[in-house]
Amino acid sequence: MSSDGMTTIIARFGYRHEGELAKGYLDDAGIDSMLFVDDASGIEVGMAFVNKGRLVVRNEDAERAREILRTAGIEPE
């Protein structure tokens, strides 16, 4: 993802679909991101409440990514 390997979590989500929606906004804006969700591939939805899904971007893209999410009405945690 990043040439220097430095990334940051810009948002956390209790539901996979919320994270996927946010990732879609970043994809559309040309920002590479990764979504990590521990919910057994959607089978154990409740697991994400204990260990929330994390949306990760390169450090240099973090501020722009947060602004894109805020503009979309998604408030990063």
> Which CATH number belongs to the domain containing residue 17 in this structure?
3.30.70
- Report the domain count for the chain: 1
SS3 19: helix
Identify whether 28 is part of a domain: yes
Q: What is the pLDDT of residues 40-69, one digit of tens each?
A: 665 565 655 567 889 999 999 999 999 999
Identify whether 77 is part of a domain: no
Tell me the mean pLDDT in the region 16-44.
Answer: 87
Residue 48 is predicted with a pLDDT of 53
The residues facing 12 across adjacent strands are 54
- Residue 33, token pair as written in the block: 């991101």
Q: How many CB atoms lie within 10 A of CB 9?
A: 14
Is the distance from CB of 12 to CB of 49 less than 8 angstroms?
no
Structural domain harbouring 35: 7-71
Residue 20 is predicted with a pLDDT of 94
Angle (CA) 9-15-20 rounded to 5° is 65
The residues facing 57 across adjacent strands are 8, 33
